[in-house]
Every structure is written in structure tokens, then in C-alpha cells.
Amino acid sequence: MRILNPFIAVLALIAVALVAAQVPGGQVLVGIILPYLAFALFLGGVVYRVLQWAKSPVPFRIPTTCGQANSLPWIKQNKIDCPSTKLGVIARMFLEVFLFRSLFRNTKAEMHDGPKLVYGSSKFLWLFAILFHYCFLVIVLRHMRLFMDPVPGFVSALEFGDGFLQIGAPVFYQTDAIFLGAIAFLFLRRVTLSNIRYISLPADYFPLFLIFGIAFTGILMRYFLRVDVVAIKQLTHGLATFSPAITGQIGSIFFIHVFLICALMIYFPFSKLMHMAGIFMSPTRNMINNSRMVRHINPWNDPNIKPHSYAGYEDEFREFMKEGGIPVEKE
């Protein structure tokens, strides 16, 4: 059910989009009104969530130190994994955000007879996560062609690089294939590894299916089911310039594609996909390990919590202390 329900949900979304593309006014709804709404919800939702997080203070300085700290001058510090400066934190966050540093550490533990535990290197999750996210990024950036006129140089360059194999017409983008492959890997990993299957929720499968649906409809549209590219560009460019219009016969597949993207954007702020923003705000990663050097302030620190006083302690044990030759304040 954990897998089937989200699958059905995505199929249902496709069905809704398919119907909407056929009924009068449906194309305007899916092609114009919904994108604006979804984009606003996406932006507003993400900003709202980030502000909600930011509202809570970070009471303590709790970086996870993954290397030698700044200590005596002759001891070599790991300035990135255990940063004592802002620059170190920036480097650590850069590696985390752009290269998935922590995931790269991944190992796989195996239990053998003995008992004997063996830890092997395990980089597949890192590799496919990297491929997934970077392909997604490239694909999103490539789509900027649809919203900008003239097409920026970096978009053209990206398209050229992505299609450098020069296979087929229109030119085949490797990211499309790698993207589908990475999604397939992430899905198969979830269903085949017993412990990952056990922890997976519908909320883990739903975005996978949804993104797969988006990629798949996009690929269908580009390579197999011909659509009116000029009309699409007119619509998308119109959306970007707040003068959208639907002209000609665009084709239902486009509206399914757009509908799924809108669904993803609306779903995004409410879901685990917020890890995109959260990674920047994780206190165990983005804090400087200088808690003994610089006092960190906790806004809700309660000054009324005081230790059991020395006076109270001495009152209770004074005679013992005197007998034991331990100095006391009051004789």
C-alpha cells in the first residue's frame, strides 16, 4: 500500500490533467492559472517554511565535529570537517551542498559469523543522488530557454554540452536518460533493500513517481509525441512576461507535463523535499566549532536555574568537612 497508493495518486493526477486538457477552459486552467498558482505556492511556501524554522533560535552550538578541532598550534586541524572559522564553515557547507560530502562517507555494515562486523565502502547512493540532483538542475536550467528571450548563453552552452553525443533529431540529451536511470535506481533501492523498504513511507514514493512522471512526459513530448514547440514557447514566454496566451494545438501531453510540475511545486513546501532549504540551516553542519572560544548566546537561557549552593552544601556537611580537614567558610 505504501507503494501502490502514491502510484495511484500520480496516475490520478495524470488522468485529471488529461481530462482538463480536453474540456473547454481546461487548457487555460492547467496552462496558465495553475502554473501561476503553483509557482506562488512554491515560493511562498518555501519562504514561509524557512521563516518558520528561522523563528526558532539555535540555543546551543552543536556542530558535529568530523575531524580534529582547532587546538594547540602544532596539532593539524581539519579545517573543513571541524571548522573554527566562518570560512571553514563555508567550505564545509559548499562540500555538503554541492558534493554531498556526508553521503560520500557512506559505508555498508555486514554481519558475519563470529560474530564479525565488516564495513565496506558504499558509494552508490552518493553517486545516484549526485546524478539525480545535477541532472534535475541541468534540466531545469535548460528549460529556461522557454522562459527567456533571447536565450541566455549559459543555457545554450548547457544544451550543447548535454547533447554533445549528437544522436538523433532532435538531439538527444544525456541528462534525460541519466535522470530516468537515477530515479529508477533510487526507486529500486527503496524496494529491494529490506531495511530501506521497511522505513519508506508513501511520502518517499510519491515524489519519486511524480518526478518520474514529469521526466517521462517530457521525454515523450520531445522525442516521440510531436508537439507544437512554437506555441509552447509562446505560452511559456508569455507566462514569464505576464502575457500568457494559448495558441494552436499544443497537445495533451504538454498539459499533463505542466500539471505534474505544478503538483510537484505545490507539494514541495509541505514535504520532505524541503531538505533543499533545510540543508543550509542544519545546526550540526553550519556552525563554527568555537564554543570554548566564543560564548554562544541562548535567548531562553533561564537565569533562575542556579546550582545547589555551596552554602547549602556546607551547611549539610560542615561537621564532616571539619573532621576531614577540608576548609569551610563558616566555622
Partner 1 sequence: MAIIKADKLGVSVAKGPSLMTGAVPKKDWWDVPAIFKPGNYAYPAKKEIIEYHTQKTFPNHPGLFGQPRDWDPETDDWKLPDGWENIILNGLKERLDKFRSLKIFMDCCVRCGACADKCHFFLGTGDPKNMPVLRAELLRSVYRNDFTLGGKILGKMAGGRPMTFGVLKEWFMYYYQCTECRRCSVFCPYGIDTAEITMIGRELLHLVGVNINWIMEPAANSNRTGNHMGLQPHTFKDNIMYLCDDIEEITGIRVDPTFNRKGAEVLFITPSADVFAEPGIYTAMGYLLLFHHIGLDYTWSTYASEGGNFGLFTNNEMMKKLNGKMYAEAKRLGVKWILGGECGHMWRVLHQYMDTMNGPADFLQVPTSPITGTRFDNAASTKMVHISEFTADLIKHGKLKLDPKRNDHRIATYHDSCNPARAMGLLEEPRYVLKNVCNNFHEMPENTIRESTFCCGSGTGLNTDEIMELRMRAGLPRANAVKYVREKHAVNMLSCVCAIDRATLTSLMNYWNPDVEVCGVSELVGNALVMEGEKERETGLRFEPLAGMEG
Grid coordinates belonging to 262: 505544478
Q: How far is the CB of 206 from partner 1 (least distance, A)?
A: 10
DSSP-assigned states of every residue in 147-213: H-SSPPHHHHHHHHHHTTT--TTTTPPHHHHHHHHHHHHHHHHHHHSHHHHHH--HHHHHHHHHHHH
Nearer to partner 1, 226 or 296 (CB): 296
Grid coordinates belonging to 159: 544544451
307 SS3 class: coil
What is the distance between the terminal CA atoms of the chain, rounded to a whole angstrom? 75
87 SS3 class: helix
Q: What is the DSSP letter of 2?
A: T
Half-sphere exposure of 5 (CA within 13 A, CB side): 7
Q: How far is the CB of 255 from partner 1 (least distance, A)?
A: 26
Do the beta carbons of residue 96 and residue 285 sit within 8 Å? yes
Q: How far is the CB of 38 from partner 1 (least distance, A)?
A: 16
Q: How far is the CB of 69 from partner 1 (least distance, A)?
A: 3
Q: How far is the CB of 64 from partner 1 (least distance, A)?
A: 5
Nearer to partner 1, 81 or 176 (CB): 81
Cα–Cα distances in angstroms (integers) from residue 266 to residues 127, 158, 191, 263, 281, in the given order: 28, 27, 26, 5, 22
Q: How far is the CB of 260 from partner 1 (least distance, A)?
A: 19
Nearer to partner 1, 60 or 154 (CB): 60
Do the beta carbons of residue 160 and residue 134 sit within 8 Å? no
Q: How far is the CB of 281 from partner 1 (least distance, A)?
A: 6
Cα gap 85→287, rounded to integer Å: 9
Nearer to partner 1, 61 or 237 (CB): 61
Nearer to partner 1, 149 or 329 (CB): 329
Grid coordinates belonging to 326: 577540608
Nearer to partner 1, 52 or 166 (CB): 52
Nearer to partner 1, 76 or 330 (CB): 76
Nearer to partner 1, 195 or 243 (CB): 195
Q: How far is the CB of 70 from partner 1 (least distance, A)?
A: 6
Smallest CA-to-CA distance from 63 within 87, 91, 49, 84 is with 84
